[in-house]
Amino acid sequence: MVSFLTAIGVMACLYLVSLPPLSVAFSMRAFLPKSAGLARSALDATALEELAKLTTLSIDSGDLDVVEKFAKTGLITDATTNPLFVSQAGSKGDVRYEAMVDEAIMYAKESMGGGDANLPDPEAELNLAIDKLAVNLGARLTALVPGRVSTEVDIRLSYDTEASVERARRIIQMYDEMGIDKSRILIKLAGTWEGIQAAAILEKEGIQCNITLVFSFLQAAAAAQAGAYLISPFPGRILDWFKSKNGKEGYHPTADPGVLAVKRMYAYFRKYGYKTICMPASWRPSRGASIEGSDVDEILALAGIDEMTIPAPLLESLNARDGNEVTKECDADLDAA
């Protein structure tokens, strides 16, 4: 058990270090200190409620209780997971997660014919157990949200098209064994050339893909041309990169390089008829963390895009803000002009 949890911890670390050190009409009210805003009426909607009217919302979490809490609001449609969430699930000490871990280990042992004996090469069994744990968590999430759940292929396979395709097929097969149709699942693949080629193969088989770790327009365009169902660009990571290069402490949200990059991707998809969904993730405070209310700068600046995946703390921030702070800022026709 310890070695298995250690392994998924390493997987989570690999996921984190794979992230590069990256890095007009606008409602000014969203970026003013709370004290400068208008008094809130009891009849006003929250920013979260107003945002959900413009953009499909996904929750970026593997915490079952947190996901259930937000799913019950009716504002959250999908859920995304990554190896970090799977690692956290395996080490929570919660009996629900412990059961997922135990079942994943037994599934791998039975499938590999290892029983309690050590296999000559335990890596294959370990990889299967990790995938099964991710599927167990994803299966629980499909019972909480009405839409799709993203499950990630091993990040170590990001430069191996064939291996990525095989692991994706295996993940879908495990979901099928649990009675969950592939239409409820998005396979997360890294936005490398090999990952995008894997998506092209899988999409032709009816397996929908989420191309993640997207930091550039070229990645987005390649994913759309490959027929990927969805991309996850990281505006916050793009902002990090620009800040590290030019020494700026912050940007107005409308000038945030990450926001502008995502708007360009979205406009390209719509202008040229690609059906690929643009779902940004990984957020940063455009104006700097010291500015009150800046934690949701990029989210508000992209209101109106196809979809967003947002972690629980930022969902809470949106839920505490006035709905009149939200206006449609992402318009493909205007951004493509």
Q: What is the pLDDT of residues 174-223, one digit of tens each?
A: 999 999 999 999 999 999 999 999 999 999 999 999 999 999 999 999 99
pTM to 2 decimal places: 0.86
- In the chain, the percentage of residues whose pLDDT exceeds 90 is 73
pLDDT at residue 113 in the model: 75
Residue 26 has pLDDT above 70, yes or no: no
CA angle 122, 197, 237 (to 5 degrees): 85
The answer to whether residues 21 and 241 touch, using CB atoms and an 8 Å cutoff, is yes
Q: Residue 26 and residue 321: Cα distance in Å, rounded?
A: 17
Please confirm, yes or no, whether 188 is among the known catalytic residues. yes
At 41-82, the pLDDT tens digits run 435 799 999 999 999 999 999 899 999 999 999 999 999 987
pLDDT at residue 122 in the model: 80
| Residue 49, phi then psi, degrees to nearest 5 | -65, -40
The answer to whether residues 43 and 62 touch, using CB atoms and an 8 Å cutoff, is no
Tell me the residue ranges of DSSP E strands in the chain. 56-60, 78-80, 149-152, 185-190, 209-214, 230-233, 277-278, 307-310
From the list 200, 198, 193, the residue with the least C-alpha distance to 214 is: 193
pLDDT at residue 38 in the model: 39
Instruction: Say how many C-beta atoms besides its own lie within 10 A of residue 290's C-beta.
Output: 9
pLDDT at residue 82 in the model: 72
From the list 182, 183, 123, 180, the residue with the least C-alpha distance to 157 is: 123
Check 69, 72, 109, 188 and give the catalytic one: 188
Q: Residue 130 and residue 12: Cα distance in Å, rounded?
A: 11
> What average pLDDT does the segment 289-304 reach?
97
Selected residue with higher pLDDT from 7 and 23: 7
pLDDT at residue 25 in the model: 39
Instruction: For residue 135, give both structure tokens.
Output: 């599927």
Helix axes 217-225, 193-204, angle to 10 degrees: 20
Q: State the DSSP code for 61.
A: -
The answer to whether residues 253 and 26 touch, using CB atoms and an 8 Å cutoff, is yes
3-class secondary-structure state, position 118: coil
Residue 117's pLDDT band, with cuts at 50, 70 and 90, is: low
Instruction: Say how many C-beta atoms besides its own lie within 10 A of residue 204's C-beta.
Output: 10
Q: CB within 8 A of 122, min separation 6: which ones?
A: none
Q: State the DSSP code for 334.
A: H
3-class secondary-structure state, position 246: helix
Average pLDDT of every residue of the chain: 87
Residue 120's pLDDT band, with cuts at 50, 70 and 90, is: low
At 125-169, the pLDDT tens digits run 899 999 999 999 999 999 999 999 999 999 999 999 999 999 999
Residue 310's pLDDT band, with cuts at 50, 70 and 90, is: very high
Contacts made by residues 37-44, CB under 8 angstroms, sequence distance 24+: 37/322, 37/325, 38/322, 38/324, 40/322, 44/322, 44/323, 44/324
Q: Residue 51 and residue 8: Cα distance in Å, rounded?
A: 35
Sign of CA dihedral 120, 124, 126, 128: negative
pLDDT at residue 319 in the model: 97
The answer to whether residues 262 and 304 touch, using CB atoms and an 8 Å cutoff, is no
Of the given ranges (24-38, 83-97, 214-228, 259-273), which has the lowest mean pLDDT? 24-38
Residue 114's pLDDT band, with cuts at 50, 70 and 90, is: low
From the list 291, 221, 225, 233, the residue with the least C-alpha distance to 257 is: 233
Instruction: Say how many C-beta atoms besides its own lie within 10 A of residue 248's C-beta.
Output: 12
Residue 115's pLDDT band, with cuts at 50, 70 and 90, is: low
The answer to whether residues 74 and 48 touch, using CB atoms and an 8 Å cutoff, is no
pLDDT at residue 333 in the model: 79
pLDDT at residue 220 in the model: 98
